Amino acid sequence: MKINVKAPAKINLSLDALYKRKDNYHELEMVMTTIDLADRLQLVLLEKDIIKLDVKAHFIPDDKRNLVYQAAALLKERFQIKQGVAMTLDKSIPVAAGLAGGSSDAAAALKGLNQLWDLKLTLAELADLGAELGSDIPFCLYGGTALATGRGEIIEPLPMMPNCWIVLAKPSISVSTPGVYRDLRVGEVEHPNTAGMVQAIRDNSFEGICDNIGNVLETVTLAKHPEVKRIKEKMLEFGADTALMSGSGPTVFALVKQYSRAKRVYNGLRGFCEEVYLVRPWQEEK
């Protein structure tokens, strides 16, 4: 038996950290949406009780350091699965980019293994398991557009965002997410209007989304990495309707209503950045 699952990337339309919790995580309010840039995971049932993972990318571990492997190990242990799996991961999402590539891969593994091993778990049950491995995994399981709160694991689905073009640009630097949160001063930053963003999505208003876009983590990453700030400025200069860093960075995305302008932003950025993508919001395949 063989199963193929797509693992789409996400962007944060709004990311707010409200306060530091007793467990040392931040209480978050985020509006996220999946986009049409995806990794692909193939799963093959094995009678032998082993987990095999082959990653078609450099510098990504194919052992228990990988969230895909951890997802399989968690299900095997929790449900005493005696069958095995051989998994092949084809990467298209940039690594360590603020696009939840690793989390989406793990979500794809949970979905695929639920089918492969006939576990009959609901999406909510899979999301609870995913939350044990990473805060972004529950959102990646639900996909679409959603409000995520708590550590990011409490998901309230929202309508699909209006159709538009999305230009992504990732500079060739890496950013430490724990380091960004450590340096964030929640009492000293301007907080995005999460309620305004949620309403804009409910109203299917592209203009409302552009008006309410915001990410408190920019205050840290843009100050430390001027090249991220420069990409954002260039996007606006080339004609983007709005631009924002996704997650803790370093990827910046532009939202553009018209294809001709999106193409201009995309072409302009290729002079500044090796990794540039022109995509759309994710449409679930029928």
Binding-site annotation, residues for ATP: 94-104
Q: Where does residue 122 rank: exposed (0-12), middle (13-18), buried (19+ CB within 10 A)? A: exposed
DSSP secondary structure string for all residues of 149-189: EETTTEEEEEPPPPP-EEEEEE-S----HHHHHHH--GGGS
Helix (H) or strand (E) holding 217: none
- Candidates 286, 283, 248, 219; CA nearest to 33 is 283
Which of 39, 105, 136, 241 does the annotation list as catalytic?
A: 136
Q: Which two tokens stand for residue 90?
A: 């084809």
Cis-peptide, bond into residue 157, ω within 30° of zero: no
Specify whether the backbone of 114 is left (phi greater than 0), alpha (psi in -120 to 50) or beta: alpha
Query: Residues within the annotated binding site?
Result: 94-104
The dihedral built from the CA positions of residue 267, 271, 272 and 273, taken in this order, carries a sign that is: positive
Query: How many Å separate Cα 74 from the centre of its chain?
Result: 21
From the candidates 6, 10, 91, 234, give the one annotated as an active-site residue: 10
Q: Is 23 a catalytic residue?
A: no
Is residue 136 among the annotated active site residues? Answer: yes
Which spans in the chain are helix H?
A: 67-78, 101-116, 123-133, 137-142, 177-183, 194-202, 206-212, 218-224, 226-237, 259-269
Nearest CA to 75 out of 105, 51, 41, 53 is that of 51
The tokens of 211 are what?
């008006």
- Residue 157, phi then psi, degrees to nearest 5: -60, 145
Which residues carry out catalysis? 10, 136
